[in-house]
Chains A and B, each alone.
Chain A
Amino acid sequence: ETGVTQTPRHLVMGMTNKKSLKCEQHLGHNAMYWYKQSAKKPLELMFVYNFKEQTENNSVPSRFSPECPNSSHLFLHLHTLQPEDSALYLCASSQDGPAGDGWETQYFGPGTRLLVL
Chain B
Amino acid sequence: RKEVEQDPGPFNVPEGATVAFNCTYSNSASQSFFWYRQDCRKEPKLLMSVYSSGNEDGRFTAQLNRASQYISLLIRDSKLSDSATYLCVVNRVSGGYQKVTFGTGTKLQVIP
Residues of A within 8 A of B (CB): 31, 33, 35, 40-43, 45, 48, 50, 55-56, 90, 94, 96-98, 100-111
Most buried by A among B34, B44, B87: B44
Asked whether, in the complex, the Cβ of B43 is within 8 Å of the Cβ of A102, the reply is no
Q: Report which of B4, B32, B45 forms a contact with A102, defined as CB distance below 8 A.
A: B32
Asked whether, in the complex, the Cβ of A101 is within 8 Å of the Cβ of B32, the reply is yes
Asked whether, in the complex, the Cβ of A55 is within 8 Å of the Cβ of B97, the reply is yes
Residues of B within 8 A of A (CB): 4, 8, 31-32, 34, 42-46, 49, 87, 91-93, 95-105
Total cross-chain contacts (CB, 8 A) = 68
Asked whether, in the complex, the Cβ of A42 is within 8 Å of the Cβ of B98, the reply is no
Q: Which A-chain residue is minimally distant from B2 (CB atoms)? A: A42
Q: At the interface, is chain A mostly helix, strand, loop or mixed?
A: loop
Besides A40-B8, A42-B102, A102-B91, 13 new A-B residue pairs in contact (Cβ under 8 A), listed by A number: A42-B4, A42-B103, A43-B102, A55-B97, A90-B43, A90-B44, A98-B96, A100-B98, A103-B49, A104-B98, A105-B34, A106-B44, A108-B43
Which A residues are in CB contact (< 8 Å) with B91?
102-103
Known: A102-B31, A102-B32. A43 touches B99 (CB 8 A): no
- When chains A and B are docked, how far (Å) is the Cα of A110 from the Cα of B44? 9
